[in-house]
Amino acid sequence: MLMIEEKDMTLEERRQQSWERWVWQTARVQPDIGKIIIRTGVFFMQRYFKQMVLFVLENNRLQDLLEDEPRDMDFIQAQGKLLQGVLEFVTEQFDREEWMIEQYLLEGGPQQKEEHQYFIDTLQGMISDFKAGKLKIGQLLKLFLQDWMIAHVNKTDGRTFTLSRWHQNIVDHAEKWDHVALLIHNLGIEYVDHDHKDILVSIIKLNKALQFLPDKLGAQLQDHFQIIASKMAEHFARERVLIERFNLPNKEFHLEEHYRIIKQLESLRDDLVRCRAGIVKEIRDSLILVWIDHINEVDAETFAEASILTTVVKQVRNWNEAKYFLRSTGMDWLDESHRKLTDKILDLVLVIESWEIGETRLDDLVQETVYLLQKIHDLGRQFFAQEEAWLALEIPFRYREHKRQHDEILQDLADLRSHLKVGNLAFSPKVKTMVLRPWINHINDVDFELYSHPDISY
């Protein structure tokens, strides 16, 4: 089975494919690839794509090492662990995909199963060859993953899982939280995600109650409907506080969407009370989709990592503000390390405030900042060592890259401290942002994706 069939391609399609292959072969960081990955609108598929990109980048890095350095045991172990890591990940992922295809009667089921089995069989063959001493398997894996991402992810998965193509299937087949958890965007803001789940579960219960109910009896469920409307209104009020406090992107549009949804709910409620013809079906068809679309299209944009880095980081002044925007990994000891280091970084706020009101001499200010940066550096090094020891045992093929990212954070801190100390860099109130932004980015993007297990049981 060929992953890419070229015989029926147009010249433009061949050129596009050649360009995509070149991007995959030369990519070394995620932004190199971001523009050629499709978006399906299904949360767990986007996580899958992102994880596969990380596998590709790690394998590309290993092949660079193979060209530049002798093959030592570290390389052999890293390549073996990567192959096994890919196999374990896709085995679970393909089970989820095939479950979703069956649950929602999505198109392309037989093709998906055939290509999934082909991928697993091929990968298992590579692992067997690698164990037999064929160390250049990484080059074959590089080409194999590249064609898989182009032909299967961007084409087969795109046809099957693009959410806008099977909205009605959700209405007809979503019967409990487990059926929709895979679809909705996990923001990583705990109380917002909790509200999203609570309201979605209530909507599903209402839809089940309405399923065989005639319009003339719809008024019997007006109390249930009003509970959902009240939960949404309370949720919107909580979101509004965060949006306005930190002036998050798309503020006006987001708040207008809140207003539009509330007015839509009021209209549906009134029609339900009047037992308007067709109202039961309209509520079943619209309510769950309105809520899912709001989460995936509006909330996901407003509370995206980029929004937090460009607006929130500049404004947070203490842990009680920052805590809303730090994504939990689900591991208490690691989340506690995140909290302690973030709290220590935010001690810089007091230094900045004393400078802004003119209470501290510049020399003393620089000395205090240098002292704090050293404390932050030492605490970070302590926490990173603990995390890296765990990572080396539990997810070894991700150890080297993650340690490199830790080392970059520590080196940037050391450089900033050194430049301030010797006078190469003048003190600026932006020092907190300079330190906090890469740290929060590491928590929300790197650690969250690596460690967290969102509530996507099935």
Would you say 32 and 60 are in contact if contact means Cβ atoms under 8 Å apart? no
Encode 383-397: b = buried (16+ Cβ within 10 Å), e = exposed. bbeebbeebeeeebb
CA–CA separation, 162 and 315 (whole Å): 37
Q: For residue 312, tell me if it sits in a domain.
A: no
Q: For residue 1, tell me if it sits in a domain.
A: no
- Secondary structure class of 214 (helix, strand, coil): coil
CA–CA separation, 224 and 450 (whole Å): 39
First to last CA, the chain: 30
Domain with 139, as residue range(s), is 6-161
Model pLDDT, residue 458: 36
**11 and 157 inside one domain:** yes
**124 and 236 inside one domain:** no
φ/ψ bin of 106: left (φ > 0), alpha (ψ from -120 to 50), beta (otherwise): beta
- Secondary structure class of 59 (helix, strand, coil): helix
Q: For residue 432, tell me if it sits in a domain.
A: yes
DSSP 8-state assignment for residue 430: T
**25 and 154 inside one domain:** yes
**125 and 257 inside one domain:** no
Domain boundary among 260, 276, 303: 303
Would you say 183 and 292 are in contact if contact means Cβ atoms under 8 Å apart? yes
CA–CA separation, 274 and 292 (whole Å): 27
What contacts 123, CB < 8 A, 6 or more positions away?
A: 83, 86, 87, 90, 144
Mean pLDDT by 10 residues, the chain (458 residues): 52 56 57 65 87 84 72 77 91 94 94 96 92 79 84 89 89 90 87 94 91 78 90 96 92 96 93 87 92 93 87 92 90 96 94 80 88 97 96 84 93 95 86 94 90 61
**364 and 294 inside one domain:** no
Domain boundary among 303, 331, 358: 303
* CATH classification of the domain holding 248: 1.20.120.50
CA–CA separation, 218 and 112 (whole Å): 41
Output 138-144 pairs: Cβ under 8 A, ≥24 positions apart.
138/59, 138/62, 138/63, 138/66, 138/79, 139/63, 141/59, 141/82, 141/83, 141/86, 142/25, 142/56, 142/59, 142/60, 142/63, 144/3
**10 and 157 inside one domain:** yes
Q: For residue 308, tell me if it sits in a domain.
A: no
Q: For residue 395, tell me if it sits in a domain.
A: yes
Model pLDDT, residue 154: 83
**10 and 153 inside one domain:** yes
Kindly report the number of other CB atoms within 10 A of residue 336's CB atom. Answer: 11
**324 and 414 inside one domain:** yes
Kindly report the number of other CB atoms within 10 A of residue 324's CB atom. Answer: 18
CA–CA separation, 346 and 356 (whole Å): 16
**189 and 279 inside one domain:** yes
Q: For residue 92, tell me if it sits in a domain.
A: yes
Q: Which of 181, 450, 439 is nearest to 316 (CA)?
A: 439
What is the domain count for the chain?
A: 3
Please give the sequence-ordered ranges of beta strands (E in DSSP) within 50-177, or none if there are none: none
Q: Which two tokens stand for residue 163?
A: 């959410």
What contacts 155, CB < 8 A, 6 or more positions away?
A: none
User: Residue 68: what residue type?
Assistant: D
- Alpha helices in 274-361, H assignment, sequence order: 279-293, 300-302, 305-307, 313-315, 319-322, 332-345, 348-356
Q: Which of 89, 18, 21 is nearest to 54 (CA)?
A: 89
Q: For residue 413, tell me if it sits in a domain.
A: yes
CA–CA separation, 149 and 170 (whole Å): 27
CA–CA separation, 458 and 455 (whole Å): 9
DSSP 8-state assignment for residue 37: S
Model pLDDT, residue 262: 95
Domain boundary among 253, 273, 303: 303
Model pLDDT, residue 212: 81
Query: Cα 299–52–13 angle (5° rounding)?
Result: 90
- Secondary structure class of 290 (helix, strand, coil): helix
**18 and 134 inside one domain:** yes
Model pLDDT, residue 37: 65
Q: For residue 240, tell me if it sits in a domain.
A: yes
**180 and 293 inside one domain:** yes
CA–CA separation, 294 and 94 (whole Å): 27
Kindly report the number of other CB atoms within 10 A of residue 444's CB atom. Answer: 19
**451 and 337 inside one domain:** yes
Residues counted in the chain: 458
